[in-house]
Structure 1
């Protein structure tokens, strides 16, 4: 089964997830958000598989720099913000078949083994 890891190469959580997968012999394709930003359809798919609250990184510097908390955005505006600023997406996002995992958690990543 094809595993895809979406994120930014220098992100600590992405590095940990990639290292975990490699150490367990899981082959994957890495997609760099900065070089290949996710489409609206991809973001909506991830939200359907998880939730907007899980996918939107409200603890990151981009969220704080843009002052999004104070703007009281609706869901569509949050999706638009993630399209314009992929670093607003919590990383990594890992896809394998119908499974979508957001963030780094070794216990959750066990499902890929």
Structure 2
């Protein structure tokens, strides 16, 4: 089953939820504030973040950390996400621990769902 990570009041998360519901895709929503990720869950996502886009460096949550984008190695990313989970670029779409996407672009979700649900 797919998991959508985010916060319910985020507009981008709302768009992704509506898209998945309209596409009749079974998913569970995990609110980062109510059900925060563990250190090991963050480490797994950071290790899969090959594009370097797991953290939204323009977000107010990221700016609160005092780090600069250029300083973000794996250790710093973990520090940021443990302290400010809402600094994550939202939402994150996950299947069985595998990061499929973060952020929401309808075309990208179309391709991911086609590949993931119809292998």
Q: TM-score, normalised by structure 2?
A: 0.82
Cα distance between partner residues in 1 of 2:38 and 2:65: 21
Unmatched tracts of structure 2, length 5 or more: 115-119
Verify the 8 A CA contact 1:50 1:100 in the aligned structure 2: no
Find runs of 4+ consecutive structure 1 residues off by over 4 angstroms. none
Aligned partner of 1:14 in structure 2 is 13
Cα distance between partner residues in 2 of 1:57 and 1:13: 13
Unmatched tracts of structure 1, length 5 or more: none
**In the alignment, is residue 54 of structure 1 matched against residue 59 of structure 2?**
no
Q: CA deviation at 1:54?
A: 0.9
Q: Indicate how the Cα distance of structure 1 residues 41 and 100 shifts in structure 2: closer, same or farther if over 3 A, else same.
A: farther
Cα distance between partner residues in 2 of 1:46 and 1:32: 16
Residues paired across the two proteins, number: 112
**In the alignment, is residue 39 of structure 1 matched against residue 38 of structure 2?**
yes
Deviates more, 1:38-47 or 1:12-21: 38-47
**In the alignment, is residue 3 of structure 1 matched against residue 33 of structure 2?**
no
Over aligned residues, Cα RMSD in angstroms? Answer: 2.1
Aligned partner of 1:67 in structure 2 is 66
Aligned partner of 1:85 in structure 2 is 84
Cα distance between partner residues in 1 of 2:52 and 2:109: 20
Q: CA deviation at 1:53?
A: 2.2
Q: TM-score, normalised by structure 1?
A: 0.86
